[in-house]
Amino acid sequence: MRRVFKGLGLGLVGLGLLGAPWLLPGWLLFLLSLALAKGLVVLGVLVLMWGGLVSFGHGLYFAAGAYTVAFLAKFLGVREAALGLLAAALLNGVLAGLLGLFLSRYRAIFFGMLSVAFSMILYAFLLKFYFITGGTDGLRVPIPTVLGFEVSARDIRTVNYFVNLVFGLLGLFAAWRLSRSPLGYLMRGVKDNEVRVEYMGASVKATVYGVYLFSGVLGGLGGALVALSVGHVAPDLAYWTTSGEFVFVAILGGTGSVLSPFLASALFELVRNYAIKLSPYTWQLSLGLVLLGIIFFYPEGLWGLYEWVKGRWRPKSSSKPSI
């Protein structure tokens, strides 16, 4: 019976996601698209948190991915979404591969500081080299072609949504596989006790490096998707407050599941949209209070809350750790 309900629920969610362009008003669909794209970046922040590492510089990959798409259009005249995403993934892989060499040696506060420093270097570059990057005005990203097909301005929202949905699901699947792979288990071991991980014969550095690489690619893809969806890129994408927002959403969702970044991201975009309309001067205030609440009372985030509710309903449910 439970399985039937579960299957039914999943089916409904699936139908809802597929039918969203026809069920939801345009602005809500756009928010959902953004939430999916940013959810990928948050997922990148989350996988590092398995190892106890908090990246306060993921705006770096977010911006690098977004500007990759913008530069392709500006300098090479390439508008193809697939090429943009591929280039963003490759470039950010290389970038994470380089920076990871340094970052994988750092822990705790130093990891955070070095990631901030890297992201601020990119920010300074994007801001000041305006003859390449457009400076504070940023760059416009033209409406993309998707796999060679021209998309009309009327359909672009729907198309963007499905592109983001596909990548969101791919990212989700990859992170889920990672969480059950030796690398994922090692990363959680790094958080608990690095010395023991080394004694088992595994390399802590290589573990952190591997996960960081994955995290950087996710960040770049998220940035590229946002650039395609919004049609505009600006240096603020790399600023430390953007990175702080990703960390916030990751903590809001909790590290309990690879699904939580997307749920938290959707909630965040939705609440922000309303909060800014209703009370623009108390939006950050409420964010701060929520973050304080999570730190002091609910370190497991929203996912922990969900697990708790589930536990209350079915006290005898299996106690295997859900990742």
Partner 1 sequence: MLTERLLAVLFDGLIFGAWLFLVSAGLTFVYGVLRVLNVAHGSFYALGAYLAATLVGLVVGRGLSPALTYPALVLAALLVGLTVGPAMERLLLRRLAGRDEVTGLLLTFAVLLIFEDVIKLIWGVTPWAADAPYGALGQLKLGAVTYAVYPLALIGVAALMGVLLWFLTGQTAFGKLVSAVIADREVSAALGVDVGRVSNLAFSLGTFLAALGGALVAPMISVVPGISVEVIVIAFAVTVIGGLGNVAGAALGALVVGLVRTSALYFFPELDLFLVYALMTLVLIFRPYGLFGRAEIRRI
Q: Is 274 in the site for partner 1 (CB under 8 A)?
A: no
> Bridge-partner residues for 146, per DSSP?
149
Do the beta carbons of residue 220 and residue 85 sit within 8 Å? Answer: no
Single out the residue of 76, 98, 170, 289 in contact with partner 1 (rule: CB under 8 A).
289
**Helix, strand, or coil (residue 80):** strand
CA neighbor of 229 nearest in space, from 168, 137, 157:
157
One-letter identity of residue 71: F
Q: Is 116 in the site for partner 1 (CB under 8 A)?
A: yes
**Helix, strand, or coil (residue 314):** coil
Cβ 248 to partner 1, closest distance in Å?
Answer: 8
Single out the residue of 244, 267, 273, 306 in contact with partner 1 (rule: CB under 8 A).
244
Cβ 241 to partner 1, closest distance in Å?
Answer: 6
Q: Is 301 in the site for partner 1 (CB under 8 A)?
A: no
Helices (H), the chain: 2-23, 26-50, 59-71, 81-103, 108-128, 130-133, 156-179, 182-192, 194-199, 204-230, 240-253, 260-278, 283-297, 301-313
Q: Is 287 in the site for partner 1 (CB under 8 A)?
A: yes
**Helix, strand, or coil (residue 309):** helix
Do the beta carbons of residue 248 and residue 291 sit within 8 Å? Answer: yes
Q: Using the Cα atoms of residue 297, residue 302, residue 306 and residue 309 in order, give the sign of their dihedral.
A: positive
Q: Is 123 in the site for partner 1 (CB under 8 A)?
A: yes
Q: Is 121 in the site for partner 1 (CB under 8 A)?
A: yes
Do the beta carbons of residue 191 and residue 52 sit within 8 Å? Answer: yes
To which H or E segment does residue 139 belong?
A: strand 139-140
Q: Closest CB to partner 1 among 37 and 252?
A: 252
Cβ 206 to partner 1, closest distance in Å?
Answer: 18
* x/- track of binding to partner 1 for residues 203-242 (CB under 8 A): -------------------------------------xx-
- Residue range at the interface with partner 1 (CB under 8 A); choices 17-25, 48-56, 263-271, 303-311: 48-56
Single out the residue of 230, 270, 271, 291 in contact with partner 1 (rule: CB under 8 A).
291
Alpha-carbon distance of 137 to 233, in angstroms, equals 8
Q: Is 124 in the site for partner 1 (CB under 8 A)?
A: yes
Q: Closest CB to partner 1 among 231 and 244?
A: 244
Binders of partner 1 among residues 172 to 201 (CB under 8 A) are: 193-195
Do the beta carbons of residue 39 and residue 265 sit within 8 Å? Answer: yes
Q: Would you list the DSSP string of 39-77?
A: HHHHHHHHHHHHTT---TTTHHHHHHHHHHHHHIIIII-
* x/- track of binding to partner 1 for residues 134-173 (CB under 8 A): ----------------------------------------
Q: Closest CB to partner 1 among 104 and 160?
A: 104
Q: Closest CB to partner 1 among 166 and 289?
A: 289
Cβ 95 to partner 1, closest distance in Å?
Answer: 14
Do the beta carbons of residue 191 and residue 60 sit within 8 Å? Answer: no
CA neighbor of 268 nearest in space, from 247, 296, 240:
247
Q: Is 120 in the site for partner 1 (CB under 8 A)?
A: yes
Q: Closest CB to partner 1 among 106 and 162?
A: 106
User: Taking phi first (over 0 means left), then psi (-120 to 50 degrees means alpha), and beta for anything else, what does residue 201 get?
Assistant: left
Q: Is 295 in the site for partner 1 (CB under 8 A)?
A: yes
Interacting residues with partner 1 (CB under 8 A): 52, 54, 56, 102, 106-110, 112-114, 116-118, 120-121, 123-125, 127-129, 193-195, 240-241, 244, 247-248, 251, 281-285, 287-289, 291-292, 295-296
